[in-house]
């Protein structure tokens, strides 16, 4: 960017035919067009209908090279992203959730609803790393599908990793405006998932059926303990594995808690020389089977939300003219 009295000009938005300048908070000028801003944004459209105060031309504060300067509170990175969406050039690459969040805030402020719609799709890749932030953003903007996906993704993180617990961690801006009820709803969803799985795993058949599905022989006359019916001698690796899974599901009620490698390692260490030879192989299949079963149970738990997605087909449905002159 070219230097000029501390103010730089963005090389991407430097058209000599521009008729207005947006100046970012970090002093970068963006030469753009009123017609583009007006068409894209009701906010700017209203602004341009208001008579602008007279200013000395070329004072580099109110005007520059005869063009009016509009100071904006956003930084240049955000303004460039906004203009990239508005102009017929490639959309910006958003590889940081902070950038997406700032752009979304600007899009809301300037009434650029089409940008918010595009960002809605772009928030999904951040689900795994920042599930709670994505949930907060989706809740604030009433994006039902993304809020549900994000809530489900929070189950995969230990609670200690969800919130910035340490003073050295920055508090993301969306938490300044997220209503407390959003977090209560999420907490209740988590508890409902835990309760659903604890109820299921308290039934011995939950594990037993999962092992029968793969034909896993889990009894051993040497190391096993007699079952209630005394028909089988259940190997300790099976009962130990299941009890660890049950405990893990209280913290993370999802398949990841089942697939924790230490559970298998601990179970395998208890296999004796008389245990079935296919134990390790079947155990891996069993874990996979159980993980699918856990996710299936969790999928029946519904997160309570105060908003719903509109069916896009109803938004764009053509209006039928039923005023027929028969």
Binding site for Zn ion (CB under 5 A): 220, 222-223, 272, 274-275
* Rounded least distance, CB 289 to Zn ion, Å: 21
CB nearer to Zn ion: pick between 198 and 243: 243
Q: Are 97 and 133 in contact (CB under 8 A)?
A: yes
Residue 274 tokens read as 């008389």
Calpha distance 288→283 (Å, rounded): 9
* Rounded least distance, CB 234 to Zn ion, Å: 10
Residue least distant from Zn ion (Cβ)? 220
CB nearer to Zn ion: pick between 181 and 272: 272
Calpha distance 180→185 (Å, rounded): 9
* Rounded least distance, CB 223 to Zn ion, Å: 3
* Rounded least distance, CB 272 to Zn ion, Å: 3
* Rounded least distance, CB 218 to Zn ion, Å: 10
**Among all chains, which residue has been given the structure tokens 């459209």?**
45
CB nearer to Zn ion: pick between 158 and 215: 215
Strand partners, 28: 8
CB nearer to Zn ion: pick between 150 and 220: 220
CB nearer to Zn ion: pick between 119 and 220: 220
Beta strand 28-32 pairing with 20-23:
antiparallel
Q: At what angle do helices 261-268 and 236-251 cross, to 10 degrees?
A: 160
Fill in the DSSP letter of residue 56: -
Calpha distance 108→261 (Å, rounded): 44
């Amino acid at each position: 960017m070219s230097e000029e009295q501390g103010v730089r000009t963005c090389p991407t938005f430097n058209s000599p035919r521009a008729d207005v300048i947006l100046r970012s908070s970090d002093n970068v000028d963006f030469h753009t067009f009123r017609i583009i801003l007006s068409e894209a944004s009701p906010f700017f459209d209203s602004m341009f209908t208001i008579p602008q105060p007279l200013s000395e031309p070329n004072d580099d504060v109110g005007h520059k090279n005869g063009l009016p300067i509009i100071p904006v509170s956003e930084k240049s990175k955000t303004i460039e992203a906004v203009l990239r969406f508005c102009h017929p050039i490639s959309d910006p690459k958003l590889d940081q959730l902070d950038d997406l969040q700032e752009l979304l805030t600007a899009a809301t402020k300037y009434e650029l609803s089409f940008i918010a719609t595009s960002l809605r799709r772009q928030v999904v890749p951040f689900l795994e790393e920042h599930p709670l932030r994505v949930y907060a953003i989706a809740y604030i903007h009433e994006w039902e599908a993304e809020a549900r996906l994000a809530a489900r993704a929070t189950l995969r993180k230990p609670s200690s990793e969800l919130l910035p617990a340490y003073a050295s961690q920055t508090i993301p801006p969306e938490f300044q405006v997220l209503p407390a009820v959003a977090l209560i709803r999420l907490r209740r969803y988590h508890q409902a998932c835990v309760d659903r799985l604890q109820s299921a795993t308290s039934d011995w058949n939950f594990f037993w059926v999962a092992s029968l599905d793969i034909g896993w022989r889990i009894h051993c006359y040497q190391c096993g303990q007699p079952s209630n019916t005394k028909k089988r001698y259940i190997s300790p690796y099976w009962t130990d594995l299941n009890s660890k899974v049950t405990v893990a599901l209280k913290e993370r009620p999802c398949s990841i808690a089942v697939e924790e490698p230490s559970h298998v390692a601990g179970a395998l260490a208890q296999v004796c020389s008389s245990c079935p030879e296919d134990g390790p192989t079947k155990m891996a299949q069993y874990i996979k089977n159980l993980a699918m079963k856990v996710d299936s149970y969790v999928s029946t738990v519904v997160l309570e939300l105060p908003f719903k997605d509109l069916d896009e087909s109803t938004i764009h449905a053509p209006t039928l003219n039923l005023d027929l002159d028969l």
